[in-house]
Each structure stands twice: as structure tokens, then as C-alpha cells.
Structure 1
Amino acid sequence: MWIQNTPLEGRYIRLEPLSMEHVEELQDAVEDGQSWKLWYANVPSPEQMPSYVQKALSKSTDDQVAYVVRSIASGHIVGTTRYYDIKPEHKRASIGYTWYSAAVRRTPVNTEAKLLLMENLFEQCGALSLEFKTHFFNHASRKAIERLGAKLDGVLRSHQILADGSIRDTAVYSILASEWPAVRNHLKAKLTAR
């Protein structure tokens, strides 16, 4: 595999490879904030969590590497994130399927999780670029992606049909390898300011 499925640890969080043993803790995490009720978000409900994890694990080959996000301070799982659409032949991947408990939103958790993922992707794997994709109407996600330093590439119109039958326009952002040093400095400065 181009991207190794190994733990990544920072000061605030630890990214651990996703497993079925994490289901119960993920159910507890998703209860805080009930993000599955947001029509534009693709977040599993507590009842959907076992199948969500199983589906992620079944795709965790060369195309996906999924993690739980564990708070070092509390020891609790506070969300998930993953690499997906991994293209080693093009030295690129996407980062997404990210959701967090309400208690850790707008804290260093997302900044550090993305820093760890990007450090690994650019510095260990030699990626040329990475992508973030989100629903056009998911303004909180779009702002979070922009705060990381990603740039909007464009909007894919009528890109996906969602479970409720609505049609999703997808905002696509990227960070290039040439931009990574400045993005890394920006993210580290944000974490130091905390």
C-alpha cells in the first residue's frame, strides 16, 4: 500500500486505524451533536454505525485508509476521518469522511488531525496533491477546509444523488505539494497559539 495504515499521533489527538472494536465508542461520539440529522452531511446515526464501520473496512484496501480520532486528554474517541480515492499512480488522495463530536468542534482536534494526515501524505508518501470534497451547502465544513489553507478548485454540479433523493453539488478544494510548506507552517502556528 502507498499509504500505510498505521497510527499517527500528535499533541492533542491520536489517529488509530478503524476497527469493529471502535463501534460502541463511535456511537457515543456521534450522539454528541447528532450530526446525522444535518440533511447535507453524510454522518451515520448510532444505529447505522456498525454498517458504516463495516463498509469503511471493506473498502480499506488500496483505495481507503480509515481512522478514529482519539482525544489524548480524555482518552475518548471523538470522531473519524480517512484517506480515500487514493491514486498512488498519480500521487494523490482525498481526505474526508470526517465528523466530530460537538464537544471538540472549533478546538485543535481538526487542525491537528489534518496536519498529521497531510504530513504523512506529503512527507512520507511524496504526494503531489490532496483533495477535500464537501456538500456545497455544508458551510461549516467549507470554512473549516478553507481555514486549513486549501483552495477552492470549483464546484461539481449535480455531482451526487443523496439518500434522501436530493442532488448534491460538491465543492472541491485542494492543497498542492508546492503549497505544503506554507500550509504546514500555518497549521503549526495555529496549534502553537492554542
Structure 2
Amino acid sequence: MTESWFQSPTLTGTHVRLEPLVREHADALIAASDDPSIFRWTAAPINTHAEAVAYIEAAESNPDRVAFAQIDTRTDAVVGSTSLYQIAPAYRSLAIGYTWLSKSAQGTRINPEAKLLLLRRAFDDLGAVRVEWHTDEFNEQSRAAIAKLGAQYEGLLRKHRQRTDGSWRTTALFSMTDEDWPTIAPQLERRVRS
């Protein structure tokens, strides 16, 4: 059932809840944008209501993207966003990205648990065989976080995306497969619990 790949269920963990991203989240996204540095490597910074709405509309208009608001379960506050994208049911693959977190939520259990929830969705619910991550080759924080999840570095995609300043980004590509998942899942679960 390929349509299930494009559904957007609420995914709930102990530290984070992933809700379908909707226009009503716009003001909360602005509040979560507590430091301009969190958007250094993205093409869509959120500083104004118009930018927040444009971010949400861009997600809604992309048929191969399912976007979520990341909500801290302790405070019920939106602390960022993340997405499944490049969803390809025929190849049983997808990517996780468009991820950003407020400075106040970085370094907490929110990001690893959000990834755990998305990976369970991909591998356990949808039967994916491959999940990818893409990040700017110079984004060391993102590259380290992806590797810490257990994803494997596969190489560089040269001139992969154009940046807002017109320059071309080389993308670092990471992946995880269904064969990796049984070993990685318990490690991620322990990381979220500890």
C-alpha cells in the first residue's frame, strides 16, 4: 500500500512528539527559532510569520515529503521540525531531513528519540530497506549527529543543491539499511533511555 508511505501519523515518544506540521504551528516555529545559527546550513530560515508560513507551505506542496513539528513532551512546546522526504515506495526507500531544533533543545534526548520514532516508522511500519540522510559537507555538527545514530557515510554528492547565496553545495550522503536496523534499534533505545 504505497499511500501509507505518505501518511502523517503522530509519533509519540517519552521526550518528543512528532505531529503533522500544519499552518497552526507557524507562531510556535518562530518561538522555537531561538538562535539564527540553527539555520546556518538551511535554505529556509524562520524569523517572521511569513517565513514560517512559507516553510510550512513548501512542505505541504512537496508530494514526496511528510513534515512534522517536533514537540517537547515535558513542556508541550514546539522545538523544531523534521521530515521524511524523497519517499519512494517502489524502491522501499526514503530520507530523513529538513531537521532543525531550537538551541534550547539541542543536546537533549529529543533529537535521538525523534530519529528513533522516524526510523521505526520507516523500517517497522513501512518496510523500508533504505533510509538516507543528506547534509552539507561542511556541517560538522549534523554529520557527527547522523553518524552517532549509526548511519554509514557513503560519500559526497558534488554540486548537489544550490544554496540561497547561489553557490553550490556538496552533500555528504549517509544511509542505514534494514539489515543495519536490528543492531542499531536497541542501541538508539538505550541512548534515549540513558
State how far apart, in whole Å, the 2-side matches of 1:42 and 1:136 are. Answer: 15
CA distance change for structure 1 residues 46 and 15 in 2, over 3 Å: closer, same or farther?
same
State how far apart, in whole Å, the 1-side matches of 2:91 and 2:110 are. Answer: 29
What corresponds to 2:18 in structure 1? 15
- Are 1:53 and 2:48 counterparts? no
Q: What pairs with 1:125-144 in structure 2 (closer than 5 Å)?
A: 125-144=126-145
State how far apart, in whole Å, the 2-side matches of 1:84 and 1:160 are. Answer: 15
* AA of the residue aligned to 1:15: L
When the two structures are superposed, what TM-score results if normalisation uses the length of structure 1?
Answer: 0.94
Provide Cα deviations, 1:19-54, integer angstroms capped at 9, x if missing partner. 000000001101x1223652x333422221111111
State how far apart, in whole Å, the 1-side matches of 2:67 and 2:128 are. Answer: 18
SS at match of 1:22: helix
State how far apart, in whole Å, the 1-side matches of 2:26 and 2:42 are. Answer: 19
SS at match of 1:98: strand
Contact kept? 1:2, 1:88, Cα under 8 Å: no
Q: CA deviation at 1:176?
A: 0.4
Provide Cα deviations, 1:106-149, integer angstroms capped at 9, x if missing partner. 11000000000000110010000100000000100000000100
State how far apart, in whole Å, the 1-side matches of 2:130 and 2:159 are. Answer: 24
SS at match of 1:54: helix
State how far apart, in whole Å, the 2-side matches of 1:7 and 1:112 are. Answer: 14
CA distance change for structure 1 residues 76 and 50 in 2, over 3 Å: closer, same or farther?
same
Q: What pairs with 1:105-120 in structure 2 (closer than 5 Å)?
A: 105-120=106-121
CA distance change for structure 1 residues 108 and 43 in 2, over 3 Å: closer, same or farther?
farther
Q: What pairs with 1:35-184 in structure 2 (closer than 5 Å)?
A: 35=37, 38=40, 40-47=41-48, 48-59=51-62, 61=63, 63-184=64-185
The runs of 5 or more residues in structure 2 that have no matched partner are none
Identity %: 37
State how far apart, in whole Å, the 2-side matches of 1:37 and 1:51 are. Answer: 15
The runs of 5 or more residues in structure 1 that have no matched partner are none
State how far apart, in whole Å, the 1-side matches of 2:12 and 2:65 are. Answer: 19
Q: CA deviation at 1:55?
A: 1.1
CA distance change for structure 1 residues 13 and 37 in 2, over 3 Å: closer, same or farther?
closer
Contact kept? 2:39, 2:45, Cα under 8 Å: no
State how far apart, in whole Å, the 1-side matches of 2:53 and 2:121 are. Answer: 28
SS at match of 1:133: strand
* AA of the residue aligned to 1:52: Y
* AA of the residue aligned to 2:52: M
CA distance change for structure 1 residues 55 and 79 in 2, over 3 Å: closer, same or farther?
same
What corresponds to 2:4 in structure 1? 2
SS at match of 1:137: coil
State how far apart, in whole Å, the 1-side matches of 2:183 and 2:45 are. Answer: 34
What is the CA RMSD across the aligned residues, in angstroms? 1.1
